[in-house]
Structures are given as structure tokens and as C-alpha cells.
Chain A
Amino acid sequence: MSSLERDIEELEEAASSEYERQRVPAKALKGPSAFWGMYAGEHTAGTEFMIGPLFVKWGADAFSLIVGLLIGNLLAVLTWRYLTATIACEQRLTLYYKMEKIAGRGLVTLYNLANGLLFCFLAGSMITVSATAVGPFFPPGTIEMPTFQSTMPTGPAWIISCIAIGVAMTLVALKGYGVVAQVGHYAAPWMFLVFVACALVTLGRLGTADLWALLTPAPGTPRTISFLGIVFFAWFCNAAMHIGMADLSVLRFAKRPSAGWASASGMFLGHYVAWICAALLLIYWVRQHGVDPQVGKDPGTMVNDAVGWAGLICVIIAGWTTANPTIYRAGLAFQAMIPGMSRTSATILAGGLCIAAGIFPAFAMNLLNFVGIYGTILAPMGGIIITDHFFADAVGIPRDPAERSGMSFNASVLIAWLVPVVAAMWLLRAQESLQLGWPIHAWYLPLPCAIACGLIYIVLSKMFARDAIAVRA
């Protein structure tokens, strides 16, 4: 049997066992416990070591971090529960199959390309974070570590570290990510405790448990993120997953929509406790070593200094377990895009792009903006699914128009997707010249883009969809 035949057989087997083109049957449904662990593991990742310190760089105050993150994460959980899980349990289809019914197969392929490229940059950030854990194993100065201001590689040793970690991740992704998923599952409770341990040691070294005082920025620190900014960041840093509906693929296996509450484990352990713990690491370096918060310190050095090798292993595993599935998914996206490409070639292509992105610290060091842009590009498709599911009958547009009309490329969806995204990207770039008087951060944009996308889709569908279905009939 050729490798292509084996690949096809494997894909078909996976498709049939994972119900990718059919409703999930009752026998395959899972109880809520399966989702609580999954969300906790998925959202306690290597990038959390970057996000906490980046809040310090942006001058977030104690109230924003403690209350703003609480509200933002609560809103994210509510979005998962009442939008994603509700649609997932009523439709029981993957995001891609549901989109195919609305947008047509051709457009789904285009979406896959955007998704695959963004996955590569995200996995690249994880490679960057993991590579910072390599430095402490060598004599000081051997590998120059990037700072918040680094955009280019810091030297040959840094490039070699990123390539070594990226190649290892890609090789594992080539084998499928079953083993990595298992390691991630085992590591999740331990990893969370390492985050907390970092915070406890830091509090001890600072000689105070007054979290409020520690999280208050020093006078004169430029404040570039507001309370509302923190709320929106916490709400929409995973916009592609909840309002963007990527988690339909997971939550369609839930017995009841209440499984959406399981996202609380990821939000409040990973995006609340872990972010604050990671922020404390940089606060210690700012207060005790005089590090400039605008320059920052790499996660590997800070974690090694706080908890030693256990922390370094945590940084590597946290990056590895989340980057691997990401490389694998990006490979599948490219494979769907390029006919005849083997999964091996597609995964190597994805891995190469991830390594290239990882070598340049610009992506990891601008992670807050990057995840906002990631959500802005992908979340609008969720707006279309929400419109189709909740409002199609009320506003008089057909449900699943591409399936009913037999079209492979629904232009209404393409226009509804591109117009708000292009407008948002232009606004993001041109805001300085527009002199709006207040900063527009990327994480404010997924919600208006998703709403605009849904509204444009309704207008265009009312104009064209019924005609297309009538022609087909």
C-alpha cells in the first residue's frame, strides 16, 4: 500500500470515527467531565508566560488585572456556554461542515488557508517561548535572549535553539499528536501548580502577600491598556474558539449545552490565575533587579530563577503540547488547500513556517495584538453561523444556503467576511493618522466584526440567496 493510500485510508477512518460529515450520534456523546480537563489543559499553555508579563509592560493596574480579568473571562465563559455550546448541541456538526453548508466548499478552503497561516504564527510564538527555556541550560551569555523590544533574531545561538525545538515539534506532529495530547493531559494539573509555585516563590522573595500593592504599577509607568481593554482582551483572546465557533468541533460531543461551563476551568485557571502568576514574575524582576518593564525579561530566565528546572520543563512542555496540535492542524489546513499534497509534506510545510515565525520574536513579543488580529480575522465566520442558527427564520433568509443551492462558493459569505475584516485592519493601521484620541487595540475588533459580518450576510442573503435556491430547484 502506498503512503498516499495509507494517508487516505487514515483520513477516511478518522473522518468516519470522528463524525466529521455527519451529526454526532447519541452513543458518542460525552459527559461534562471530559470537557473540564480538556479546557483546563488547553488554556494553560506556554504563551501564558508571555501574556502576564505583557500586561505589566502595558501598565495594567491591580483593579484591571483582578476585576477586569474576572469579568472578561466570565464573559468568555458565557459566550462559550450560550452561543458555542448551544449551537454545537443543536447542530452536532464540525465548524467546517457547518460552514460548508452555508458558505460552500470552495470558501471553506479559503478559510482553511487563513486559519492554517494564523495557526503557524501562533505555534511560532510557542516555539519562541519554549526556546527561552533553553538558555538557562548553557553558561550565561551563550544564547542572547529576546526582550519585549526584540523583533529580529538575537543571534546564531537563538536561531539554532528555535530550529532545534521547531524541528522536534514538527517531527512529533508528523507522527500525529496522540502522544503529545497524552503528555499534555498528564502535564495539565502539574503545570498549573508550577505557575502557582512561581507566584508563591515570588511573593516570598518580595516579602509580601499584598497582591494589590504588587500589581499596582510604579508611578510614571505608561498606561497603554485600560480596564475595558483588559476585559475585552480576556473576552476575545480566544474569539476564534467561542464566537468564531471553532469549538463546535469539540462541544458537538457534549450531551448537554451545560458542558459549555467547562470553559471556566481554562479561563479561570489558565487565563486568570496563571496570567497573574506570570505577571508577578516580571514584577519581581522590575522591583528587585531594576528591569525596565518596557524591555522585560524572557520567560525561561524568570521561571528558572524562581523554581529551577521544574519551571524550565514546564515552559518547554507548555509550549510543546500546545504547539504540536497547532502544527498538525495547520498541516491539515494546507493539505485541504493544495490537492495531492501528502500529510507529511503539508506538516513539514507548516512546521517550516512555524519555525520561521518562531525565530523572529516579533510575534511572541506582540502576542496581545496578534491574538486580537487572529480573532478579528476568524471570528466573523462565527457571526454568520450565529445568524444562520438563531436569526435565519426570523429575518426570512434560507438556512444552509450553499447546501440547498448546490453552490461551492457563496459570494454573500465572502463579502460579509471580508468587508468588516478589511475595514478593521485598515482602522488598526490608520488610527494614528486618523487621530481618534483613543487607542484601538486589535482585541476590541472581533465583536464588532462578527456583528457587522452577520448583518451584511443578512442583507446580501435577502438579496441573492432565495434566487440561487430557486434556480437550483
Chain B
Amino acid sequence: MKMAATSVGLLALAGTIVPPAVFMLQSISGGPGSTPALSLDVVKTVMFLSTIAWFVAAPFWMKVE
């Protein structure tokens, strides 16, 4: 159970930070006025789903001292 929670938790954290990073890299490399392949709406959706996944997985993963 803990292993599954750890995997989901890590994926959720990745889902929180990787899409914005990709959005930034695509936006900057494309130059002014360019539209990144990964749209901001997709970034927001992935981040929201990752948030739900994180709060489901974290209690099984992180123990509180």
C-alpha cells in the first residue's frame, strides 16, 4: 500500500511541477508571441488532478511524528 501511495505521490508532485516547467521552456524557446504546444489550460488541469492525487496519496505515504 505504502509503495503504491509513494508512487502516486511522486507522480502527483511531478504533475504539479513538470507541466509548468514545460510550459515555461516552450514559451521562452518559441520567442515572443509564440503559442506553446502545451497550453496553459492543460497545465492547470494536470495540476488540479495532481493536487487531488497528492492529497489522496500523502496520508498513506507521509507519517506524522
- Chain A interface (Cβ < 8 Å from any Cβ of B): 30, 34, 181-182, 185-187, 189-190, 193-194, 196-198, 200-201, 203-205, 207-209, 307-311, 313
Contact = CB atoms under 8 A, between A and B. Distances in A.
B16 A204 contact: no
B16 A200 contact: no
A197 B17 contact: yes
Contacts of B17: 193, 196-197, 200
B13 A189 contact: yes
A189 to B, nearest CB: 6
A197 B47 contact: yes
Contacts of A201: 20, 23-24, 40, 43
A185 B27 contact: no
A201 B42 CA distance: 12
A195 to B, nearest CB: 10
B24 A309 contact: no
Interface in B17-47: 17, 19-21, 23-28, 31-32, 36, 40, 43-45, 47
B16 to A, nearest CB: 4
Nearest to B26: A204
B51 A200 contact: no
Interface residues on B, range: 20 to 34
Contacts of A309: 44, 47-48, 51
B51 A310 contact: yes
A308 B65 contact: no
Nearest to B51: A310
A307 B20 contact: yes
A308 B47 contact: yes
A187 B12 CA distance: 12
A198 B17 CA distance: 9
Nearest to B50: A310
Contacts of A34: 65
A200 B16 CA distance: 11
7 contacts: A186-B59, A193-B17, A194-B47, A204-B20, A207-B28, A307-B44, A309-B51
B64 A313 contact: no
Leading 6 A-B pairs by shortest Cβ distance: A308-B44, A204-B27, A204-B24, A186-B58, A310-B47, A200-B20
A39 to B, nearest CB: 14
A198 B32 CA distance: 20
Given A204-B24, A308-B47, 19 more contacts: A181-B64, A182-B59, A186-B55, A193-B16, A194-B16, A194-B47, A197-B47, A200-B20, A200-B21, A204-B23, A204-B26, A204-B28, A205-B40, A207-B32, A307-B20, A307-B44, A309-B44, A310-B16, A310-B47
Contacts of A205: 27, 40
B47 A307 contact: yes
B48 A310 contact: yes
B16 A209 contact: no
A308 B54 contact: no
Contact of B31 (A186, A189, A207): A207
Nearest to B62: A186
Most chain B CB neighbours (cut-off 10 Å) among A193, A203, A208:
A193
A313 B51 contact: yes
A80 B47 CA distance: 35
B20 A197 contact: yes
Contacts of A30: 65
A364 to B, nearest CB: 24
Nearest to B41: A308
Contacts of B19: 197
A291 to B, nearest CB: 19
Contacts of B54: 186, 190
Contacts of A181: 64
A198 B43 CA distance: 11
A308 B19 CA distance: 13
Contacts of B16: 190, 193-194, 197, 310
A194 B16 CA distance: 7
A200 B62 contact: no
A203 B28 contact: yes
B38 to A, nearest CB: 10
A305 B64 CA distance: 33
Contacts of A190: 12-13, 16, 51, 54-55, 58
B24 A203 contact: yes
B44 to A, nearest CB: 3
B3 to A, nearest CB: 18
Nearest to B54: A190
A311 B21 CA distance: 16
A309 B43 CA distance: 11
